[in-house]
């Protein structure tokens, strides 16, 4: 397996680099290869001659995507560039691994979202990711489209790091309790991606998430309990949080095609021990 990782310095990309280290992956990030630059992407694929390309890039600013400029960027990076990458990989017979999100769903379903459920995004970030999903599926036959959710990891800002940072300021933290999802550790996700490839699972859509759904409010409590950090946490509703982008109330992904990952609580404990 010869692996090229795009977005190798991002939160997920950096953990992919370490989990795939025995395959000596080539990692590039924005400053070397801008994923929206077709000739740069083509050149790196021709130079590295990978058998697998893992696209861990993304415009991940959910609220920022609601502005005109933000949505343009999101559409280019999360949408159009994915189509272009899928084209290039398909022409060379290269397997493409790409990541999408729970935010492609509207959150109105009673019960967990399975791989075959129809996306219906309710915010611009979700729209941009859905454009990428559609182009990937149209242009590629050898793809793994991996939907995941609520990532936390060492190499990027995330909910866990934010909670710990805010706790230090001594204020009461208001955290939404009407959005439910499955927090997922980037190391566990990266290991699942490796297994997916090693086991040569059928191409298609996979939901890869740590198990056990919680609200952001419950998750905040778990973080403080496990770290022993003292903080006042108060539950609020989504309206009170006044974010630019609407979020689905039900963000819970069901993994129906791959062995379930461990509980997010175990993963969180493990993650905290590495900090
Ligand atoms: N974070 C989550 O909770 C979450 C949940 C579900 C799905 N996902 C998906 O998982 C993937 C990885 O997310 P992440 O949280 O690891 O994101 P991240 O930490 O923001 O990493 C994304 C990486 O892509 C790079 N990048 C941005 N624009 C680029 C461009 N035009 N060309 C090349 N590289 C570019 C970023 O560089 P700069 O930092 O320099 O911009 C960064 O290194 C994304 O597809 C995201 O949509 C994330």
Q: Ligand 1, atom 42: nearest CA belongs to which residue?
A: 10
pTM more than 0.75: yes
Q: Ligand 1, atom 29: nearest CA belongs to which residue?
A: 30
Residues marked as catalytic: 125
**Cβ–Cβ under 8 Å, residues 263 and 206:** no
CB atoms within 10 A of CB 66: 17
**Cβ–Cβ under 8 Å, residues 26 and 5:** yes
Q: Which residues pair with 210 in a beta bridge?
A: none
Determine the Cα–Cα distance for residues 92 and 132; give it in Å rounded to an integer.
20
Of the CA atoms within 13 Å of residue 142, those in its CB half-sphere come to 17
pLDDT of residue 119: 98
pLDDT of residue 170: 82
Strands 143-148 and 204-207: parallel
pLDDT of residue 2: 98
- Can you give the length of the chain in residues? 275
Q: Which atom of ligand 1 is nearest to the CA of 76?
A: 31
Distance 65 CA to ligand 1 centre (A): 13
- Domains contained in the chain, CATH given: 3-157+183-209+252-261 (3.40.50.720)
Burial of residue 251 (CB within 10 Å: 0-12, 13-18, 19+) is buried
Determine the Cα–Cα distance for residues 258 and 35; give it in Å rounded to an integer.
29
Of the CA atoms within 13 Å of residue 48, those in its CB half-sphere come to 25
pLDDT of residue 244: 96
Percent of the chain with pLDDT over 70: 100
Ligand 1 pocket by Cβ (under 6 Å): 7, 9-13, 29-30, 34-36, 56-60, 77, 99, 101, 129, 148-151, 156
For the chain, give the longest Cα–Cα distance: 55
* Three-state secondary structure string covering the chain: CCEEEECCCCHHHHHHHHHCHHHCCEEECCCCCCCCCHHHHHHHHHHHCCCEEEECCCCCCCCHHHCHHHHHHHHHHHHHHHHHHHHHHHHHCCEEEEEEEHHHCCCCCCCCECCCCCCCCCCHHHHHHHHHHHHHHHHCCCEEEEEECCEECCCCCCHHHHHHHHHCCCCCEEEECCCEECCEEHHHHHHHHHHHHHCCCCCEEEECCCECCEEHHHHHHHHHHHHCCCCCEEEECHHHHCCCCCCCCEECECCCCCCCCCEHHHHHHHHHHHC
**Cβ–Cβ under 8 Å, residues 103 and 60:** no
Best residue for ligand 1 mutational test, from 33, 38, 54, 58 (most atoms within 8 Å of Cβ):
58
Per-residue pLDDT of the chain (275 residues), as tens digits, is 999 999 999 999 999 999 999 999 999 999 999 999 999 999 999 999 999 999 999 999 999 999 999 999 999 999 999 999 999 999 999 999 999 999 999 999 999 999 999 999 999 999 999 999 999 999 999 999 999 999 999 999 999 999 999 998 888 999 999 999 999 999 999 999 999 999 999 999 999 999 999 999 999 999 999 999 999 999 999 999 999 999 999 999 999 999 999 999 999 999 999 98
**Cβ–Cβ under 8 Å, residues 173 and 252:** no
Q: Which atom of ligand 1 is nearest to the CA of 81?
A: 31
Determine the Cα–Cα distance for residues 119 and 103; give it in Å rounded to an integer.
9
pLDDT of residue 137: 98
């Amino acid at each position: 397996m010869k692996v090229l990782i795009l977005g190798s310095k991002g939160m997920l990309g950096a953990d992919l680099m370490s989990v795939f280290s025995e395959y000596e992956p080539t990692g590039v990030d924005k400053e070397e290869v801008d994923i929206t630059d077709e000739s740069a992407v083509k050149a790196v694929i021709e130079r590295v001659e990978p058998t697998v390309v893992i696209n861990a890039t993304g415009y991940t600013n959910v609220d920022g995507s609601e502005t005109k400029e933000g949505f343009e960027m999101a559409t280019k990076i999360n949408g159009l560039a994915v189509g272009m990458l899928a084209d290039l990989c398909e022409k060379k017979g290269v397997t493409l691994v790409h990541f999408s999100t729970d935010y492609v769903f509207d959150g109105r379903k009673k019960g967990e979202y399975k791989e075959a459920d129809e996306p219906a995004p309710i915010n611009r970030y979700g729209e941009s990711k859905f454009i990428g999903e559609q182009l990937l599926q149209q242009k590629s036959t050898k793809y793994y489209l991996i939907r995941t959710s609520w990532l936390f990891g060492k190499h990027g800002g995330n909910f866990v790091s934010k909670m710990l940072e805010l706790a230090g300021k001594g204020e009461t933290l208001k955290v939404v309790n009407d959005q439910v999802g499955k927090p997922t550790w980037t190391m566990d996700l990266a290991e699942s991606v490796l297994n997916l490839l090693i086991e040569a699972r059928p191409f298609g859509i996979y939901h890869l998430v740590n198990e056990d759904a919680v609200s952001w409010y419950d998750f905040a409590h778990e973080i403080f309990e496990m770290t022993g950090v003292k903080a006042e946490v108060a539950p609020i509703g989504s309206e009170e949080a006044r974010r630019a982008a609407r979020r689905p109330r039900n963000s819970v992904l069901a993994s129906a095609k791959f062995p379930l990952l461990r509980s997010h609580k175990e993963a969180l404990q493990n993650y905290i021990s590495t900090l």
